[in-house]
Structure 1
Amino acid sequence: MHNKLPPEGEYAPPLSRPAPTPDDIRSQLDLIIASPEFPRVGRSAAFLIYVTEETLAGRAKRIKGYTIAVDVFNRNEGFKQDDPVVRIEAGRLRRLLERYYLVAGQNDPIRIDIPKGGYAPSFVWNDKVDDVALPDVTIPLPRRLGFRLPQLMPFGIGAGAMFGVGIVAMSLFAHLLPGRSNALLSAGGPTLVVAPFADLGDGPQAELYSVGLTEELLTVLPRFKEVHVFGREASKSLSPGVPASQVRRELGARFLLAGGVRVSANRVRVTARLVDTGTDRILWSDTYDDDTHIRDLFSIQSDVASKVATAVAQPYGIMAQVDAANPPPGDVGAYTCTLGFYAYRAQLTVDQHSNVRNCLERAVERYPSFSTAWAMLSIIYLDEERFRFNARSGTPTPVERSLSAARRAVRLDAGNTRALQSLMTALFFNQKVAEAFKVGEQALKTNPNDTELLGDFGTRVAQSGQWERGAALLDRALELNPGGGGYYHGMRAFAAYMLHDKRTALIEISQADLQKFPLYHAVAAVIYADADMMDDARREARRFNEMRPDFILNIVAELKSRNFQPADRARLIADIRKAGLPAVNEVEASMVLSTKERPVSLP
């Protein structure tokens, strides 16, 4: 029969076209492996190279789970068929290939796939393309290095290049979340595996709780979009006491979250630890105790998962601190830009602003589907206008660019907290306060433990006149991130000033310490003036005016652009004047404006 399928390992050509030759297939394999859309991490590249070469050598029928486990995954001859490693990796590889051909490989001449039901690849001409010339690929490829893992990818502290280029590719097999693009996966970032929490109790409650806590963590952690969390399938494949080195070797993840649950009578104790899989060093650990007579197990489980996730995964959490202290070397993608963004937000200096803007613009050019990068760029663009940092002239304006970038971030990933934060902020400075707060509330529901969001949303709420609620949100951000940037403390000091809490205002402004940020000195000036510390007030006022001489000349417009209420504007202007700066009040400003606009009488 003409439609009979060829034997496994042979290639069925289209009726009018010869089959791809081995050289054609190897050229296509080179294209895939060299592409940034196919991150070389874990065993994906080794797996694909191995099964392709075995098939081209006429040994397709030999490709079984056992041979792959031994030849690619370095398993010994005692490998058990119930070990899920090959099955998991095959599923991940199929999805990587599918996404590659959706984006980078749309116009490639040949499709290489791993059909379900086996591990032997298929090679067919790409129906979408007639005759597309293959580019000259000169990047050294893993295929030339052999198939054994130690030769392909050396792990350990020196594996920074592997970490930067592709450590997040593993999240593809975990779960393909809506809006999470392959560009994000290529951009770098911390990868985290959650091992099943150990049951350390004697009864069924501990077992039930340990399983429930693991599930809750796998729900809460992915809300922090800068971190890429392996999914349930990967977690269930591990034992509670899995060695960190095994996680690094088999999954390629940078961090391991593990712990245990002990239940005795009405007492519940949870221990949790974060481990660097490259060094086996415990980076963080904590213990949580609770009482089932006071709270039910579900509430305890939810609370503990929230605390653990916030400690390790928030923008200023343990993993971010580790990466900031030991950044990956060289140009490793957009993740370095995100680290730079948070460093900038902690200090708010004009020099950092320029560097981060340039980095993020390169990142979105390379990864146009990276929602988080667009969100960060939106905030950076807005700072050109509100802080007068490296402002670019012309159209669109910084505020317009900010809103455009924020909307793009949300279109790419509607559940991305940073995207929603950027849209909220851009709308606020476009004088769309009600719409901004609607988005802010949505972001808060998406991730109530994101301190970057809490600090920013709290600031906007406070500036609009809701000072008590704004202060509460800022307090929550400081509670979750005591070592957070001075921006949180500065805004909390400002809220205390507006709430006539002089003691808190003085304490918080002393902890802000944003000497290179002009508006810090303005806030300090009014706080000291309100406390009758006039020498300090005049010193801070002079410093502010030196850094932003344009602000006082346009103080009413500046305050209105930030949506301050009339009574709050009047109080701020009065205390700025008390500190020694010649700020005009709104009546005076309106008179000046009226004079400027008065038509000139002709003689």
Structure 2
Amino acid sequence: MKYSRQQRQAIETAVDRILSSGVFGQRSRLRELLGYIVGEELEGRGDRLKAYAIGIDVFARPVDFNPNNDSIVRVEMARLRQALDVYYAGAGSDNPIRIGFSRGSYRPHFDTAPGTPAAAPPPMLSRLQATPSLPGGWLGFYLLGAAIAVVILAGLWLLTNRQSSGTPDEAQQASDRIPVVVKQFHGTPGDEHSVYVAEIVSDQIVSALARSKSLSVFNGTADSAAAGHQAAGAPDALIKYLVTGNLQVEPDWSRVTVELSNADTGNIVWAQTYRRGGRFITVQDELVRTIAAELRPQIYNAAKRAIAQKDPETASAWQLYLQATWSPGETVNSLAWQKEQLALARRALELDPDLGQAHAVLAEKLSYLANLDPASDTEAARNEADYHARRALELASDDADTVFNVAVHFKHEGKIAEAAQAVQRTYDLDPNHVLARLLVRFKNQICTTPTASAVRAAIVYDANLSPDNPVRWVTLYWLARLELNRGALEDALLYARRSLQIFASPAVSLQVAAILNQLGRTAEAIALVDTQRVNWPTLDLRHYASRVIHGECDGRPRTPLVRKIYDDLADAYENRKVPNAAQ
């Protein structure tokens, strides 16, 4: 459709008024989205306004972008419609031209407000209404119809053949992901606004989860995707997990309940209720990020438990990788278990030498063991870890989980600058990655004395997590580290003890022991180390202080107090009184 100069000017003025109204706030993506869609329509390219083109042109998705797996376009279009509704109900109520979208379409339509003289129809309209003329009269129409029929039949054959056979790469990709359906969330019955917002929230969660390369995420209506049914858009992937939710929105508070269930058994795998104060629109984005960040590890862990029930000899390389990777809440604290995970990663690479995810896990495991097991701290092991980290980034630099495991490897190696860069890259790939969201805030605070505002930010982040979130052992451990860098031993001990209650990892146990010893409670510190050495019999405090604490900041020393308390703990443990076995 062509637009006259007068029509274009009127529409562009309408867009300018919307953008200057502030209805989009700081949401630059909505501003860019509206400008792009209107611009394409005015330039005669409205037929290109499909989810794929918008995802690539506006949201910088890669060329293999699949709108069925990543609903970013649906989510942002729903938010755009919502923002326009708010605008025309208020500041834009007197606009002579209104921009809208038909349901299910991304092409804009431009309507005149009541009482506004209608603009002349574009000249293209009469051209479309004219009777077509073809050479050859009725013979021409016959030949044209025959040609169209041939094209349609050929297209149907190709489509059917493609759907039934599929390429090996597509089949492999389907088997290397966890199929999840997010059903449309329920709003409050009878409340149209609540129902509408619930639909947007469920779409946002789909988009957030789809960032993971280990998940195949699909939209489902509130009554679709029953257990055992196949996911729409994924004929080769049987649904394994369902996400459902209920949303209640009140003027000054809101509540979202989310459930993850096993599609085969109907059992509830995980459930959580989130309550926020204030207007929902002001907390919506933070709430969705928190839900997605907490939901994804639960899906991973459920899949890992299911895979663990199978014969490991029949597991695929990807399944072995998933079993080997660290996930909050599914970790066993022992040297033997870590070596088992290392063996799983090696087996995965035997089956698929180009599986970048497995390379990243292997790099992380090798460097972790080098820190805690002196026998594993060899030059050959460190070189091997570095090789696998490089290989992982060569093969899967667009996978947030891969890049994060490489970041953890760098952290274990004491390469804090490289770790910070990899954490930032993880966050760029997936802003909902639960640990990247934390570490990206404090990546520059490890080797320095943090500001009070940085500590407050960490406290707020931890408070926004669900109380039973297993990730909190990491957030509380990092809070203790920040307080240690400030020299606040009592505050550090408070957070470290809370972390220890969730998961008594070697790092947390030694952190608590070092603080206790510094506070004169040496007997408690030694008892805690002895308990840890039951699971880590080769744990050497002198090696840990030298390898981890002194070498953690690219060769730069950490704050003197931190170095001192770990050295003092090593001294105290070496000089402890060991009971005489003969007595």
Could you say which TM-score interval applies, normalised by the shorter chain? Answer: 0.5 to 0.7
* 1:46-195 alignment runs, 5 A limit: 116-118=155-157, 185-187=174-176, 190-195=178-183
The question of whether the paired residues in 1 share the 8 Å contact of 2:180 and 2:216 is answered with yes
- Are 1:562 and 2:545 counterparts? no
- Are 1:530 and 2:518 counterparts? yes
- Are 1:214 and 2:197 counterparts? no
Displacement after TM superposition at 1:411 (Å): 3.2
Looking at structure 2, the residues matched to 376 and 426 of structure 1 have their Cα atoms a distance apart, in angstroms, of 9
TM-score relative to the length of structure 2:
0.57
* 1:245-260 alignment runs, 5 A limit: 245=227, 247-248=229-230, 252-260=238-246
**Could you tell me which residue of structure 2 aligns to residue 341 of structure 1?**
325
CA deviation vs aligned residue, 1:309-333 (integer Å, no higher than 9, x gap): 223212xx25514742773411322
Q: Structure 1 residues 218, 325: CA separation in 2 closer, same or farther (over 3 Å shift)? A: closer
Aligned residues: 405
**Could you tell me which residue of structure 2 aligns to residue 74 of structure 1?**
none
Looking at structure 1, the residues matched to 528 and 332 of structure 2 have their Cα atoms a distance apart, in angstroms, of 18
The question of whether the paired residues in 2 share the 8 Å contact of 1:418 and 1:453 is answered with no
Looking at structure 1, the residues matched to 257 and 503 of structure 2 have their Cα atoms a distance apart, in angstroms, of 40
- Are 1:387 and 2:372 counterparts? yes
Displacement after TM superposition at 1:486 (Å): 5.5
- Are 1:398 and 2:381 counterparts? yes
Amino acid of the structure 1 residue aligned with 2:157: G
* 1:27-46 alignment runs, 5 A limit: none
Displacement after TM superposition at 1:493 (Å): 4.2
TM-score relative to the length of structure 1:
0.55
The question of whether the paired residues in 2 share the 8 Å contact of 1:376 and 1:422 is answered with yes
The question of whether the paired residues in 1 share the 8 Å contact of 2:294 and 2:469 is answered with no
* 1:540-555 alignment runs, 5 A limit: 540=528, 547-548=537-538, 551-552=541-542, 555=545
- Are 1:374 and 2:359 counterparts? yes
Displacement after TM superposition at 1:400 (Å): 3.1
Looking at structure 2, the residues matched to 581 and 120 of structure 1 have their Cα atoms a distance apart, in angstroms, of 72
Q: Structure 1 residues 461, 356: CA separation in 2 closer, same or farther (over 3 Å shift)? A: farther
Q: Structure 1 residues 379, 460: CA separation in 2 closer, same or farther (over 3 Å shift)? A: farther
Q: Structure 1 residues 417, 542: CA separation in 2 closer, same or farther (over 3 Å shift)? A: same
Q: Structure 1 residues 212, 343: CA separation in 2 closer, same or farther (over 3 Å shift)? A: closer
Displacement after TM superposition at 1:355 (Å): 1.2
Looking at structure 2, the residues matched to 504 and 560 of structure 1 have their Cα atoms a distance apart, in angstroms, of 19
Looking at structure 2, the residues matched to 210 and 411 of structure 1 have their Cα atoms a distance apart, in angstroms, of 40
**Could you tell me which residue of structure 2 aligns to residue 571 of structure 1?**
564
CA deviation vs aligned residue, 1:70-120 (integer Å, no higher than 9, x gap): xxxxxxxxxxxxxxxxxxxxxxxxxxxxxxxxxxxxxxxxxxxx9742368
Looking at structure 2, the residues matched to 515 and 254 of structure 1 have their Cα atoms a distance apart, in angstroms, of 29
Q: Structure 1 residues 406, 533: CA separation in 2 closer, same or farther (over 3 Å shift)? A: same
Looking at structure 1, the residues matched to 449 and 265 of structure 2 have their Cα atoms a distance apart, in angstroms, of 47
- Are 1:313 and 2:296 counterparts? yes
Does 483-492 or 402-411 show the bigger shift? 483-492
Looking at structure 2, the residues matched to 381 and 474 of structure 1 have their Cα atoms a distance apart, in angstroms, of 32
CA deviation vs aligned residue, 1:207-265 (integer Å, no higher than 9, x gap): 542332232112111234433323xxxx2xx4322252264587611111223445566
Displacement after TM superposition at 1:190 (Å): 3.0
**Could you tell me which residue of structure 2 aligns to residue 441 of structure 1?**
424
Give the match's secondary structure for 1:191.
Answer: strand
CA deviation vs aligned residue, 1:1-43 (integer Å, no higher than 9, x gap): xxxxxxxxxxxxxxxxxxxxxxxxxxxxxxxxxxxxxxxxxxx
Q: 5+ unaligned residues in a row in structure 1: which ranges?
A: 1-113, 124-168, 584-603
Q: Structure 1 residues 530, 454: CA separation in 2 closer, same or farther (over 3 Å shift)? A: farther
Looking at structure 2, the residues matched to 302 and 515 of structure 1 have their Cα atoms a distance apart, in angstroms, of 30
**Could you tell me which residue of structure 2 aligns to residue 223 of structure 1?**
211
Looking at structure 2, the residues matched to 432 and 473 of structure 1 have their Cα atoms a distance apart, in angstroms, of 22
Give the match's secondary structure for 1:215.
Answer: helix
Q: Structure 1 residues 200, 549: CA separation in 2 closer, same or farther (over 3 Å shift)? A: closer
Q: 5+ unaligned residues in a row in structure 2: which ranges?
A: 1-152, 577-583
Amino acid of the structure 2 residue aligned with 1:310: A
Displacement after TM superposition at 1:285 (Å): 3.8
Give the match's secondary structure for 1:579.
Answer: helix
Q: Structure 1 residues 489, 431: CA separation in 2 closer, same or farther (over 3 Å shift)? A: closer
Looking at structure 1, the residues matched to 249 and 442 of structure 2 have their Cα atoms a distance apart, in angstroms, of 41
Once superposed, what is the RMSD of the aligned Cα atoms? Answer: 4.5
Looking at structure 2, the residues matched to 258 and 431 of structure 1 have their Cα atoms a distance apart, in angstroms, of 42
Give the match's secondary structure for 1:244.
Answer: coil
* 1:323-338 alignment runs, 5 A limit: 323-324=304-305, 327-331=308-312, 332-333=315-316, 334-338=318-322
Q: Identical aligned pairs, as a percentage?
A: 14
- Are 1:279 and 2:268 counterparts? no
The question of whether the paired residues in 1 share the 8 Å contact of 2:413 and 2:552 is answered with no
Amino acid of the structure 1 residue aligned with 2:175: S
